[in-house]
Amino acid sequence: MSSAATLRLQIETALAHRIPSALTPRAKVIRPVAPTGVAELDMLLDGGLPIGALTEMVGPESSGRTAVALSFARGVTRSGSVCAWIDVSDALSPESAAEAGVDLSRLLWVRCGVIEAQVRPREEYTFSLPDKYMVSAPVKKGLHGGGCGGHPRNEVKGMAQAIGGLLHSEAIAPRCAEPQKRMRAERETSSPQSQIQTQQRYVVRGAKPWARMDQALRVADLVLQAGGFSAVVLDMAGIAPEHVARVPLATWFRYRAAAERTQASVLLLTQHPCAKSSRELMLRFEAGRARRDEVTVFNGIEHHVEVARRRFTETPANVVPLRKPPQRETAARWSSQASWVGGR
């Protein structure tokens, strides 16, 4: 045995309890696949998305990423397995997921950046005019004979405080004649259920993008380490690329190792590629185009996807052909129609 082989054997023996086969490259593994439910895409991918690996779907808005992910989740939930959907931007519509055929009883929906807060009943929001505004001002003799005050320019002073008293004490009253310093208000939105009189809670989605990202990454760690999920969708499609790029590369490597250990299919929905060498498969979606079947009625969207990276591909044989093999197809097209179109 040569000295290099002896030294290599000694190192691997010493590290066997920590890193098995430390200096031996891992063999190429052709992973099993699960169908996406889109026939054109399954034909392109030789069956579907890899199981126990990380798949990244990159593309702009309305490019078909969420539709393919929902179709994949439909197949997972209908087979009796459980799927986790980590929604970073709180943009998933349960009605659309149910319409796509997803079994919601087998879907774990994690909404990031959503805070529930207690509010007072509507009866406490009745406004009343303070007593100090009900007392008439003392009569002052001025320039207007019998007088109602001083100079007209001074009569508008204090109008902003009067208007502010009519409104809620926490509200910012608009100023009439006095200069106002521009203030940046926090954007808050509430769910439709909060407008019901019997509802006592409202939802505030004012968390910063990186705070939602950090929460989503922690939840993904817990879900992958716990196991039991056949598919985990990390939906970051609504987050700007500069925030997604802040995620360390070690995080994606950890997700890949956990997916391989639990045999879960991890899907990343992003606008810009971020997983790099940790992904097994990368699909690049283009912006969808409206179908031109009718002139004035919207019928659906035409989608286009390209396989930008595939780590391992199955070779039919070990024999090297003398002629140049035919080029493999790397793109697929399909179209989705609106619900009001019906069968044609």
Which tens digit of pLDDT belongs to each residue from 263-309?
A: 999 999 999 999 988 999 999 999 988 887 666 677 888 999 999 98
Task: Express each pLDDT in 58-71 by its tens digit.
Answer: 999 889 999 999 99
Q: Which residue has the higher pLDDT, 216 or 208?
A: 216
For the chain, what is the largest distance between any 2 Cα atoms, rounded to a whole number of angstroms?
A: 119
Q: Is 84 exposed, middle or buried (0-12, 13-18, 19+ CB in 10 A)?
A: buried
Say if residue 158's pLDDT is above 50: yes
Tens of pLDDT, residue by residue over 13-58, are: 887 777 766 666 665 667 889 999 999 999 999 889 999 999 999 9
Tokens of residue 174, six digits: 């608009």
Angle between helices 209-226 and 249-262 (to 10 degrees): 30
* C-alpha to C-alpha distances, 221 to 103, 176, 238, nearest whole angstrom: 24, 53, 20
- Tell me the mean pLDDT in the region 163-173: 51
- The SS3 assignment for 340 reads coil
| pLDDT of the residue at 128 | 54
Beta strands in 18-91 (DSSP E): 33-34, 49-50, 54-58, 83-87
State percent of the chain over pLDDT 90.
38
59, 207 Cβ separation under 8 angstroms? no
33-117+209-313+331-337: CATH number? 3.40.50.300
Number of Cβ within 10 Å of residue 258's Cβ equals 21
Please report, for the chain, the start and end positions of each structural domain, with discontinuous segments joined by +.
33-117+209-313+331-337
Q: In terms of C-beta density within 10 A (0-12 exposed, 13-18 middle, 19 or more buried), how is residue 34 classed?
A: buried
pLDDT at 341: 72
Confidence class of residue 10 from pLDDT cuts 50, 70 and 90? confident
The span from the CA of 234 to the CA of 88, in Å, is 8
Does the structure show a pLDDT above 50 at 138?
Answer: yes
Integer Cα distance of 129 and 302 in angstroms: 59
Split at pLDDT 50, 70, 90, the class of 313 is: low
pLDDT category of residue 119 using cuts at 50, 70 and 90: very low
Q: What's the mean pLDDT in 209-226?
A: 91
- Where does the pLDDT of residue 200 fall: very low under 50, low under 70, confident under 90, or very high at 90 and above? very low
